[in-house]
Amino acid sequence: MDPTRRRPPPHKVSSVQQYIRDTFQQQVIGYGGYAEWPPRSPDLNPLDFFLWGYIKQRVYATPPPTLQELRNCITDACASVSPAMLYNVQREVQSRVQMGCIVAEGHNFEHER
C-alpha cells in the first residue's frame, strides 16, 4: 500500500460496515445505515451529547486497573442505560431539532438546559 495514501477510519472500513449491518440490521443509524444521520452534527447526536459522557463518567469513576476490567466496566455502563434515560434523550433530540433546525434555521446555536 502507498504510505502517502490515507486509510479510512476503522468504522468506515467495508468489512466493519458489513459486520455492523449484519449484527444490528435495521437498528443502524448513521452513514450508510438504515436511518441516515447528518454528518458532524454533535448538537443532534445523542452519542455526542449524552452517551459518551455518561459512559466515560461511569467507567472512569474508579479507573479500571486492567484491560479486562475496563471491558467489564464499559459493558456494565452500557447495560445501565435505562429505558427512562433513553426516553429523556429522545425528548432532548426533539428539543435540539426544534432549536437548531427550525428556530436557528440550521445555523449554529447554543443549547441551554
* Tens-binned pLDDT, residue by residue, of the chain (113 aa): 566 677 777 767 888 888 888 888 877 766 666 666 555 666 667 777 788 889 999 999 999 999 999 999 999 999 999 999 988 888 888 887 777 666 666 555 565 55
Q: Are residues 47 and 86 in the same domain?
A: yes
pLDDT recorded at residue 101: 67
Q: Are residues 74 and 22 in the same domain?
A: no
For 18-85, give the secondary structure using H, E and C.
HHHHHHHHHHCECCCCCECCCCCCCCCCHHHHHHHHHHHHHHCCCCCCCHHHHHHHHHHHHHCCCHHH
Domain around 23 = 1-37
Q: Are residues 48 and 89 in the same domain?
A: yes
**pTM as predicted:** 0.51
State the total domains in the chain.
2
Q: Are residues 46 and 95 in the same domain?
A: yes
Q: Are residues 32 and 45 in the same domain?
A: no
Q: Are residues 30 and 68 in the same domain?
A: no
